Structure 1
Amino acid sequence: MEINDLTPAESRVRRAFASGTAVDFRTADPNAATADDPADGGTWGPERTVRARVLRSLLLDGPREDGEVPVLSLSGARVTGRLELQNATVDHPVRLRHCHFEETPTFHAARLRELNLSESVLPGLISHAVRVDGVLRLTRTRFAGTVRLSGAEVTGSLYLESARVEAPDTEGPVLQLNQAVLGADLWAPGLRAVGEVRLTGARVAGTVNLNDAVLDRPGGTALNAETLAAEADVVMRRADVRGRLELRGARIPGRLDLSHARLANAGDTALRASSCVIGELWLREGPVVRGSLNLRRTQVDVLFLQPEVVPARVQLNDLTYTSLIPHEPAERRLPMLERGNGYLPFTYEQLTASYRRIGDDDAARLVQLAKQRRRRRTLPWYGRLWGHLQDLTVGYGFRPVRAGGWLVSLLAVGSVAYGLHHPPALKPEEAPDFDPVFYTLDLLLPVISFGQETAFSPGGWYQTLAHVLIITGWLLATTVITGLTRTVSRQ
């Protein structure tokens, strides 16, 4: 390219590049701010138009001044043609802010020192397998097409705060970050994406920040982050996800924070975080999840789950958690276990363990009682009949007070019956005085003996009553003793 081929605007950029000086074509008049909107950059005249091939020539073989670091720093320009830097090595920072690109730039497999396209407007970006030895800034950048950063390697952070990606004619993901490797954070609060955002297999050494993001793909996958590995947190406070939030197989040692988030994918899965390993999962202070919640085979240290946000359908089989907060009565937690696919004993055991861990043995017994009642519905009719009898009489052994009440009632019945009709003594000359109360206690209590049962022998109907008292006494006394044992061991 000859120097005399350059326009005045391009000549200014060339001179500034050699000395590392920034060029800003924007107007200084605050009343003309709308004229500087890059969305209207197609109307900008030649005084602020730069050809993409001029920029490429500067980056690959531009002039240098002794003692200066060349930098391409350009603001408020209209870039015509395609900026093609695929497979190139660029040793200079590239800062093209507040610019309007007529064609999609290509940085495929390029190696760059720094790339900053903040607040620019582009028809898309092709930068898969790019390597940036620094930071990649796309702050408040607007894209009208696909952003391809799959396989990108950024030694610093990737900034996408308040960026917008809209590609209405694209069937695949509109923002591709699959297999990307970031040496610091993925910083994207306020991101707006119409279409799928793909983060499958990405590795982030810091935090993934998607606070206040709007991810819009109703009926499909809004965020696909399968096998994502973030070494710190994934925060999505106040995020609005319209479509599936896919996190299967993710590894998040810190916090997955979905506080105040709106998750909606009616008729399908709204959040799938199965087979994950997560330090803390926060799902709270937001509206009820619209769609199903899938946490199967996931390991969580702290599960912060408010009953108010749990949807009508959840999948919790093989979910393990160390602690469940906030502390809620068992009656508020149990409906969640009824919304899965069939009877899952493990979910009841997990909830029981969480209550026992904090010393709430009463709630733990309620969960175990609910488990038996849920299991009863899976049994044949005779099993259900026996289950109802156990529930009514002793609460499956988790209602020791009720068992004690039955013992007292049977003691009263036996005392009255044998008080009205004394059974004959086996050896009248050796038998003690008959006492109907202690005789009934001898029948009911399997361990304690007052010497009455062995000395007297009822007959007929009274013998049948004695057998009934012995059998029921064993069952009820065992229930009472078990309940007392739990209380003593807890204390």
Structure 2
Amino acid sequence: MEIANLTPAERRVWWAFPRGETADFSRPGDEHAEHGGSWGPERTVRAEVLRRLLLSGEPADGEIAALRVTGARVTGTLDLHNADVPYGIRFHECHFESELMLYGAEIRQLSLSRSYFPSLEGTALSVTRIVHFSNCRIPESLRLGGARFAGALFLDGAHIGDADSPQDQVLQLNHATVENDVVAPGLVVHGEIRLNGASITGSLVLDEAVLRHPGATVLYAKTLSVGTDVSATRLHAVGRLNLRGLRVAGQMDFAHARLANPGGMVLRASSIVAGEFWLREAAPIEGRVTLRRSQFELLHITPDAWPDSVRLDGLTYGTLDPHLPAEERLRLLEREEDGYVPHSYEQLALSYRRIGDDDAARTVQLAKQRRRRGTLRGPIKLWGHLQDVMVGYGYRPMRAAAWLLALMLTGSVAYGLHHPKPLKPGEAPDFNPVFYTLDLLLPIIDFGQEKAFKPQGAHQWLSYTLIITGWILATTIAAGITRALSRQ
């Protein structure tokens, strides 16, 4: 391309490129580049001119060439697919009329901050330094599947997708590799984000991001791997978050987040492995949540944040914060979609025992037995009721002592007022109503009273009642001791 065929604006870019200088077309009071379609020829550059510079331009002697343009309107399609570009590319506050084609390209550095472009095809793109899409406006899609970025990827303040017509996969990063952080605070996306199989060596930052795809998947991050943390404080997501198989070496921080997908699944976080999962002071979640088979060292969430429907089977955690009475935590387990899930009770009891709150752990175990009883039938269910009333399935041992004391007093008074007749007069020991009652109540103790005296009438029926009750108490206490030993 001859320089004589260039417009004055293009000549400015042509002369700035070899020295790595900036061709600045911006003017005071410029609106965002989104409205740059009306900019005149004095700040308009053809995409084919930029392409020729990047593919055949040479640096000036002793200089580092780079394409740096500010405040320009770019016409035509900037097509660099499969190109090897050894120079840095920086467009700041520029307006692109057509899609950017970067499929399979290798670029030293890429920055499009505060620019507008309809879409970008960057599948298999490779950038050896930082990538900036900060505060960009992209109404259609940003496709970076399989891309490799040796530096950080910045999406802070970017707006992607059409608010009036959200689409699937408006931001594609599936199977991408970022060898630093993905920094996207304040990101706004209307449609679906794809991060399936992606690998981020550093952190994923989504603080104060707004993700909207009502009634559909808004974030699909299946088997995403994050080397440090996921920070999503004050995230506002409308739609389904599918995080199945996510791996996070550090913490997932969703403090103050608002998650909503009314009538559907809002958070599918099954089979996740992460150090910590924080939902501190999060708004009440709208929609169903599943954390099945996930593993956390710490899970921080208050009961009021959980939705009405959850699936927690196989969820394991070391510590559950904040520390609350067991009764407040147990209400969540009643919301299980799958009904009675023994593992959920065992995990909650274990978390209380781990911090030394044995009373709360026993409360959880008792609730588990009561919930299990609802799944039983016939005599087994009746036997469960008896164990509950008598000794709280062995988790309320003082209740057994109270029953024994009450029955002992009842029997002692009744037999003290009406002594039973001796079976063999003259051979029977002196009658003692207290030890006679204990003989009836305690099946493994023999004070010699029961065998020597025989009550009549109503007192005989009282003795039968004491014997049966004693066996029930002994059996339920033994069951409770067995459970306690098995837990140890």
Question: TM-score band (shorter)?
Answer: over 0.9
Q: What residue is the counterpart of 1:45 in the other structure? A: 40
Match of residue 54, structure 2, among 53, 56, 59: 59
Q: What residue is the counterpart of 1:2 in the other structure? A: 2
Answering whether residue 124 of structure 2 is matched by residue 113 of structure 1, we say: no
Superposed displacement of residue 443, structure 1: 2.2
Name the CA distance, whole Å, in 2 between partners of 1:19 and 1:161.
Answer: 29
Q: Is the CA contact 2:204–2:231 (under 8 Å) kept in the aligned structure 1?
A: yes
Name the CA distance, whole Å, in 1 between partners of 2:180 and 2:71.
Answer: 29
Name the CA distance, whole Å, in 2 between partners of 1:265 and 1:395.
Answer: 40
Name the CA distance, whole Å, in 1 between partners of 2:484 and 2:375.
Answer: 31
Counting only pairs closer than 5 Å after superposition, residues 101-180 of structure 1 correspond to structure 2 as 101-167=96-162, 171-180=167-176
Aligned residue-pair number: 486
Q: What residue is the counterpart of 1:239 in the other structure? A: 235
State which drifts further: 287-296 or 397-406: 397-406
Counting only pairs closer than 5 Å after superposition, residues 65-80 of structure 1 correspond to structure 2 as 65-80=60-75
Counting only pairs closer than 5 Å after superposition, residues 141-290 of structure 1 correspond to structure 2 as 141-167=136-162, 171-290=167-286
Counting only pairs closer than 5 Å after superposition, residues 346-425 of structure 1 correspond to structure 2 as 346-425=343-422
Answering whether residue 462 of structure 2 is matched by residue 465 of structure 1, we say: yes
TM-score (norm 1): 0.94
Name the CA distance, whole Å, in 1 between partners of 2:472 and 2:83.
Answer: 83
Q: Give unpaired runs (5+ residues) of structure 2.
A: none
Name the CA distance, whole Å, in 2 between partners of 1:171 and 1:308.
Answer: 33
373 and 165 in structure 1: CA distance in 2 versus 1, 3 angstrom threshold = same
Secondary structure of the 1:351 match is helix
Answering whether residue 434 of structure 2 is matched by residue 437 of structure 1, we say: yes
Superposed displacement of residue 212, structure 1: 0.3
The one-letter code of the counterpart of 1:178 is N
Name the CA distance, whole Å, in 2 between partners of 1:42 and 1:261.
Answer: 37
The one-letter code of the counterpart of 1:145 is E
Q: Is the CA contact 1:120–1:142 (under 8 Å) kept in the aligned structure 2?
A: yes
The one-letter code of the counterpart of 2:224 is L
State the Cα deviation string for residues 197-237 of structure 1 (Å, max 9, x = none). 11111100010000100000000011111111101111111
Q: What residue is the counterpart of 1:320 in the other structure? A: 316
Secondary structure of the 2:265 match is strand
Name the CA distance, whole Å, in 1 between partners of 2:478 and 2:341.
Answer: 29
Superposed displacement of residue 277, structure 1: 1.0
Name the CA distance, whole Å, in 2 between partners of 1:264 and 1:366.
Answer: 32
Name the CA distance, whole Å, in 1 between partners of 2:121 and 2:143.
Answer: 5
State the Cα deviation string for residues 422-480 of structure 1 (Å, max 9, x = none). 23445555543211012112222344444433444445654443343233224325656
Name the CA distance, whole Å, in 2 between partners of 1:408 and 1:478.
Answer: 17
State the Cα deviation string for residues 368-399 of structure 1 (Å, max 9, x = none). 12112211222224444333333233322222
Superposed displacement of residue 331, structure 1: 1.0
Superposed displacement of residue 22, structure 1: 1.6
Secondary structure of the 1:433 match is coil
Secondary structure of the 2:78 match is coil
State which drifts further: 390-399 or 288-297: 390-399
Secondary structure of the 1:196 match is strand
Name the CA distance, whole Å, in 2 between partners of 1:488 and 1:384.
Answer: 24
State the Cα deviation string for residues 307-357 of structure 1 (Å, max 9, x = none). 010110011111111111111111111111011121111111111111111
Q: Is the CA contact 2:196–2:220 (under 8 Å) kept in the aligned structure 1?
A: yes
Q: Is the CA contact 1:404–1:476 (under 8 Å) kept in the aligned structure 2?
A: no
Name the CA distance, whole Å, in 2 between partners of 1:267 and 1:105.
Answer: 38
Q: Is the CA contact 1:403–1:477 (under 8 Å) kept in the aligned structure 2?
A: no
State which drifts further: 452-461 or 410-419: 452-461
State which drifts further: 152-161 or 437-446: 437-446
Name the CA distance, whole Å, in 2 between partners of 1:137 and 1:357.
Answer: 46
Name the CA distance, whole Å, in 2 between partners of 1:24 and 1:76.
Answer: 6
Q: Is the CA contact 2:133–2:156 (under 8 Å) kept in the aligned structure 1?
A: yes
Secondary structure of the 1:86 match is coil
Q: Is the CA contact 2:393–2:479 (under 8 Å) kept in the aligned structure 1?
A: no
Q: What residue is the counterpart of 2:330 in the other structure? A: 334
Match of residue 475, structure 1, among 472, 475, 483: 472
State which drifts further: 180-189 or 400-409: 400-409
Name the CA distance, whole Å, in 2 between partners of 1:164 and 1:300.
Answer: 33
Secondary structure of the 1:189 match is coil
Q: What residue is the counterpart of 1:100 in the other structure? A: 95
Name the CA distance, whole Å, in 1 between partners of 2:39 and 2:258.
Answer: 40
Secondary structure of the 1:139 match is coil
CA RMSD of aligned residues (A): 2.3
Secondary structure of the 2:114 match is coil
The one-letter code of the counterpart of 1:298 is S
Secondary structure of the 1:407 match is helix
Name the CA distance, whole Å, in 2 between partners of 1:232 and 1:182.
Answer: 12
Q: Is the CA contact 1:36–1:76 (under 8 Å) kept in the aligned structure 2?
A: no
Secondary structure of the 1:242 match is strand
17 and 377 in structure 1: CA distance in 2 versus 1, 3 angstrom threshold = same
Instruction: Give % identity.
Output: 54
The one-letter code of the counterpart of 2:146 is G
Secondary structure of the 1:40 match is helix
157 and 373 in structure 1: CA distance in 2 versus 1, 3 angstrom threshold = same
State which drifts further: 209-218 or 55-64: 55-64
Name the CA distance, whole Å, in 1 between partners of 2:290 and 2:366.
Answer: 25
Name the CA distance, whole Å, in 2 between partners of 1:16 and 1:186.
Answer: 31
TM-score (norm 2): 0.94
Name the CA distance, whole Å, in 2 between partners of 1:380 and 1:186.
Answer: 55
Q: What residue is the counterpart of 1:309 in the other structure? A: 305
State the Cα deviation string for residues 160-214 of structure 1 (Å, max 9, x = none). 0000002455642111111110000110000000111111111000100001000
